[in-house]
Structure 1
């Protein structure tokens, strides 16, 4: 009888722990399915993502240094996106101009957690990131969903998007492409940075 009571109490305790973990996860992500992208004039949601070295980078921490240019890439929709590669290259080529605007460029690479590090490493293999650039990983689209940018269609990942976020946390510029192309360019971003200072 004592053994039965011990087993029953242990089972009940484990059930309550598992139930409470599920409840807290639901609470943390409640409303994400209805999330909207940050609009111009609104405050961008803070987030924390890790880079390829595992270091956590927080939006609010980057904003203490100056405005942030947030580039949301497509990640790996079955291949390394050539338009993402080109866009990243254009921003890296203009790193000095972005630095003179005191901006940090934060690139988010979304994907399934299972192979995200491998795919992100492939994407950045031939890229040397300037000091004012961060390349962050979005495992299982947690950030992408929270920002309302999940492109939930076959062979798609995230809408390619660009935001300029001022040191006050407010969005100064937003461009969300509902296609693979039609992305923001450095000229648009520099204009937004100069008009927001």
Structure 2
């Protein structure tokens, strides 16, 4: 019975068969790894450049695991609804959209279709999981891409807040992201 419970608990903790790194993503107090990703709207975004302008909220979406994630869509919309508050906080909000490289830009375009987002919101492409692997956030299971995660970063790229969800839910709300920015 104890062995069965342990196996069941591990299944719940790991979600749909994914393997979670011991400490996924950058931890509070650590400096986030540099990245250089293509922006959906054109150009490139380096983390060091983003943090020069103020704090950064880095939101890792599930991206395109073979379908558009409805929880990601809801989260994106919620953050858009608080766009003015993030601007007042001087923050850039960067959404990382992971997935297989072939057609990723088109899928990300479909994800934001019909939604205008301000200049301090960025949608960054993570083809073939280069970013999610580097950050230890790869949810390597059927119909999965990355663990939904949110990090608040200071201008020194140090993590002031981190949340990694091992399920589709458990995401940080826009209101809680703003609180994390204020608490730093």
Q: TM-score, normalised by structure 2?
A: 0.86
- Structure 2: gaps (5+ residues): 1-20
Matches for 1:25-174 after TM superposition, within 5 Å? 36-174=24-162
Tell me if the contact between 2:36 and 2:44 (Cα under 8 Å) persists in the aligned partners: yes
- Structure 1: gaps (5+ residues): 1-32
Determine the C-alpha separation between the residues in 2 that align with 1:174 and 1:138.
20
* Count of residues in correspondence between the two structures: 164
Give the SS at the match of 1:110: strand
Tell me if the contact between 2:97 and 2:124 (Cα under 8 Å) persists in the aligned partners: yes
Determine the C-alpha separation between the residues in 1 that align with 2:90 and 2:140.
35
Determine the C-alpha separation between the residues in 2 that align with 1:34 and 1:143.
17
C-alpha RMSD over aligned residues: 1.4
Tell me if the contact between 2:55 and 2:91 (Cα under 8 Å) persists in the aligned partners: yes
The higher relative CO (CA closer than 8 Å, separation ≥ 6) is in 2
Q: TM-score, normalised by structure 1?
A: 0.80
Q: CA deviation at 1:188?
A: 1.3
As a proportion of its length, which structure holds more helix? 1
Determine the C-alpha separation between the residues in 1 that align with 2:41 and 2:104.
13
Q: CA deviation at 1:168?
A: 1.4
From 182, 188, 191, the equivalent of 2:170 is 182
